[in-house]
């Protein structure tokens, strides 16, 4: 594990799993679609794709993607979040691990998609972001996708201020052999305009 605590752990003390899951249950009960990320990814994938849900949390997205026929591995460092995922989908693969050291988990590489949704990138431990992007790129097959969703202002983050700019993020991706394919403002596919507070980015692995 990395010596530095990630921002999510700083924020929650590693105890947020049940509350986080309840928040989405309430949204679903109120009629909101809580599967926007999964639908977005599914539209870009071949059937029965191999997916790494990086920072899978309570498994909300990976469980939906599995229902849609994909093969998902969830990785998260927060045991309270993973406990919910394991309870809801015991047959799925849930790994406790730090994305900074993804290579220590012994994963079979060649994933079609690495997904870091729900502000995973802005919530990493400060300074670890380039290494996490590099690790995610490494597990992809050539042509495989990295899809991320991240807040770029306080309104779209559970943090007082943004921690990552798109310029920095795109630079880390380029360094990791990833090329930007498309960028949106929402998981519904609204167009991203410079200065927007949220970005859904689709990068692909351009190097073998």
- Residues near ligand SAM (CB under 6 A) are 6, 8, 55-57, 60-61, 75-78, 81, 98-100, 117-120, 123-124
* Beta strands at 71-76 and 93-96: parallel, antiparallel or unpaired: parallel
- Three-state SS for 194-208 is CCCCEEEEEEEECCC
Q: How far apart are CA 45 and CA 115, in angstroms?
A: 12
Q: How far is the CB of 153 from ligand SAM (least distance, A)?
A: 16
Report the b/e string of 5-18 with b at 16+ CB within 10 A: ebbbbeebebebbe
| Shortest reach from residue 100's CB to ligand SAM, in Å | 5
Give the nearer residue to ligand SAM in terms of CB position, either 99 or 173. Answer: 99
Considering the complex, state which of residue 9 and residue 180 has its C-beta at the smaller distance from ligand SAM: 9
Minimum Å distance from CB 101 to ligand SAM? 8
Closer to ligand SAM by CB, 138 or 207: give it: 138
Question: Least distance to ligand SAM from the beta carbon of 38, Å?
Answer: 10
Tell me whether residue 130 or residue 206 sits nearer to ligand SAM (CB atom): 130
Q: How far apart are CA 107 and CA 73, in angstroms?
A: 9
Contact 7, 73 (CB under 8 A): no
């Amino acid at each position: 594990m990395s010596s530095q605590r990630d921002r999510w752990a700083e924020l929650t003390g590693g105890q947020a799993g049940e509350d986080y899951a309840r928040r989405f249950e309430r949204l679903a009960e109120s009629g909101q679609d809580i599967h926007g990320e999964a639908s977005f990814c599914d539209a870009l994938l071949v059937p029965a794709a191999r997916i790494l849900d990086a920072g899978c949390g309570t498994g909300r997205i990976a469980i939906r993607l599995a229902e849609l026929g994909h093969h998902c591995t969830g990785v998260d460092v927060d045991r309270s979040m993973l406990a919910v995922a394991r309870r809801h989908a015991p047959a799925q693969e849930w790994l406790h691990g730090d994305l900074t050291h993804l290579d220590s988990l012994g994963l079979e590489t060649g994933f079609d998609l690495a997904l870091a949704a729900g502000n995973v990138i802005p919530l990493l431990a400060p300074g670890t972001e380039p290494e996490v992007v590099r690790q995610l790129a490494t597990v992809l097959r050539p042509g495989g996708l990295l899809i991320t969703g991240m807040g770029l202002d306080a309104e779209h983050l559970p943090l007082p201020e943004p921690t990552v700019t798109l310029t920095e993020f795109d630079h880390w991706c380029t360094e990791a052999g990833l090329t930007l394919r498309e960028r949106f403002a929402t998981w519904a596919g609204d167009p991203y305009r410079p200065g927007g507070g949220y970005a859904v980015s689709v990068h692909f692995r351009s190097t073998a």
